[in-house]
Amino acid sequence: MGNLAVSYAGAGKVELIDTPYPEFELKDGPGVHPANIGRQVHHGVILKTIATNICGSDQHMVRGRTTAPEGLVLGHEITGEVVEVGRDVEFLKVGDVVSVPFNISCGRCRNCKTGQTGICLNVNPDRPGSAYGYVDMGGWVGGQAEYVLVPYADWNALKFPDRDQAMEKILDLTMLSDIFPTGYHGAIGAGVTVGSTVYVAGAGPVGIAAATSAQLLGAAVVIVGDLNEDRLAQARAMGCETVNVALGDPAEQIEQILGVPEVDCAIDAVGFEARGHGHGAATEQPATVLNSIMEITRAGGSLGIPGLYVTGDPGAVDEAAKVGSLSMRFGLGWAKSHTFVTGQCPVMKYHRGLMNAILNDKVSIAKNVNATAISLQDAPKGYAEFDSGVAKKFVLDPHGLIGA
């Protein structure tokens, strides 16, 4: 049996390739860490992919902004049906429909045992933390494919209580693998609570998920900033205030909304490919968002930073940024006693609660991010459209199950 999958084919390109059907053993391939080759995965399951999403983090690789090797199978946002269970799996059964956190974690190390599943110590020989289909993350094969292997499945997979209910809400539930928990993590890190005024930098899917999360947590006002008017319109449609940072730094526009040029807390949902504000909007300035959210967040406030920052960026604007060194005004953050919360979201910390919010109609994340299902064959077109800045979250449907 084959396994059609989406792979990175060089800067600006993805292509569909035929790959082997998954086995309960890690094989050699693009991006696979040599120490992981031959690793036995009897604790895993094989999923028939129901939904697998195109993520902004994938776009960083596809733009050629990382050291991702050509041929790497992409995709870390996975929802699927169990079709095979490994010898050591106890609690999952064939036919179960599950959400898979993008973090791969073992459930056994000291970090996993304290809920820090984004920095598991046992799944990536190079560094703490791992993910499917991602550069320098251990080489676990990505899930933008017809079938995918999920290790430590009893620990990693979140089983939906009812298959029919799950399929009815699949466009919402597919967001549990990454962007909804990631946006929520940003809001939690920023200290959002009832009555907060919140600024979210970035109106892409993670930014919209962060804004949705801030609303869910009881924020009084959520302000979303971006350069893209279509995406800002999407934010307004879900009840947010907006600022267009192409017109200048957000403080003045925030003052027009709130009466003061500051917010209680802020979320960076942009990351290292940030552009300047105002006249600098045409140029890449990777520390822009970090500096601006320090300026506009009140003294004593918190900054949630789920936006991706990397240690290696071959396409960076200067030599320092190529190794993740940014011209950040850390002294300003220190002077204002800001709290910074960074790093991969530990999806497992939040996904069950967010699942319950979806299943009980407390939130409409798919509507807010404009979830749009397309076929696996249309993935290259979806990547190109997403890169152009459309206000959509593309959900790949490898087996036509969403359309059905």
Which of 324, 342, 360 lies at the terminal end of a domain, its last residue?
342
d(CA 21, CA 8): 19
Q: What is the CATH number of the domain that holds 215?
A: 3.40.50.720
Q: What is the CATH number of the domain that holds 53?
A: 3.90.180.10
Predicted local confidence at residue 173, as pLDDT: 98
Q: Judging by beta carbons within 10 Å of its beta carbon (0-12, 13-18, 19+), is residue 403 exposed, middle or buried?
A: exposed
pTM, to two decimals? 0.96
Predicted local confidence at residue 189, as pLDDT: 98
Give yes or no: residues 294 and 386 share one domain: no
Predicted local confidence at residue 242, as pLDDT: 98
Q: Given a cut of 90, is residue 290 above it in pLDDT? A: yes
Which of 342, 363, 382 lies at the terminal end of a domain, its last residue?
342
Predicted local confidence at residue 174, as pLDDT: 98
Give yes or no: residues 122 and 208 share one domain: no
241-244 and 221-226 beta bridge pairing? parallel
d(CA 144, CA 53): 7
Give yes or no: residues 364 and 333 share one domain: no
Q: Is there a contact between 397 and 403 (Cβ–Cβ < 8 Å)?
A: yes
Average pLDDT over residues 86-112: 98
Give yes or no: residues 53 and 25 share one domain: yes
Give yes or no: residues 297 and 185 share one domain: yes
Give yes or no: residues 277 and 387 share one domain: no
Tens of pLDDT, residue by residue over 32-47, are 889 999 999 999 999 9
Average pLDDT over residues 97-104: 98
Give yes or no: residues 38 and 77 share one domain: yes
393-396 and 45-53 beta bridge pairing? antiparallel
d(CA 329, CA 190): 18
Tens of pLDDT, residue by residue over 244-281, are 999 988 999 999 999 999 999 999 999 988 888 987 77
Q: Given a cut of 90, is residue 17 above it in pLDDT? A: yes
- Between 31 and 237, the higher pLDDT residue: 237
Counting the structural domains of the chain, the total is: 2
Portion of the chain with pLDDT greater than 70, in percent = 100
Residue 188 domain boundaries? 179-342
d(CA 136, CA 195): 40
Tens of pLDDT, residue by residue over 165-223, are 999 999 999 999 999 999 999 999 999 999 999 999 999 999 999 999 999 999 999 99
In a domain, 310, yes or no: yes
Predicted local confidence at residue 41, as pLDDT: 97
Would you tell me how many other CB atoms lie within 10 Å of the CB of residue 2? 10
Q: Given a cut of 90, is residue 118 above it in pLDDT? A: yes
Q: Is there a contact between 303 and 341 (Cβ–Cβ < 8 Å)?
A: yes
In a domain, 403, yes or no: no
Q: Is there a contact between 402 and 366 (Cβ–Cβ < 8 Å)?
A: no
Q: Which amino acid is at 146?
A: E
SS3 call for 17: strand
Q: Can you tell me which residue has the tokens 């289909």?
A: 133
Q: Given a cut of 90, is residue 403 above it in pLDDT? A: no
Average pLDDT over residues 26-31: 91
d(CA 135, CA 396): 21
Q: Is there a contact between 380 and 30 (Cβ–Cβ < 8 Å)?
A: no
Q: Is there a contact between 133 and 75 (Cβ–Cβ < 8 Å)?
A: yes
Which of 296, 326, 342 lies at the terminal end of a domain, its last residue?
342
Portion of the chain with pLDDT greater than 90, in percent = 83
Q: Given a cut of 90, is residue 310 above it in pLDDT? A: no
- What are the φ/ψ torsions at residue 38 (nearest 5 degrees)? 90, 0
- Between 315 and 9, the higher pLDDT residue: 9
Q: Given a cut of 80, is residue 282 above it in pLDDT? A: no
Tens of pLDDT, residue by residue over 353-397, are 999 999 999 999 999 999 999 999 999 999 999 999 999 999 999
Size of the chain, expressed as the number of residues it contains: 404
Predicted local confidence at residue 314, as pLDDT: 83
Q: Given a cut of 90, is residue 349 above it in pLDDT? A: yes
In a domain, 245, yes or no: yes
Q: Given a cut of 80, is residue 404 above it in pLDDT? A: no
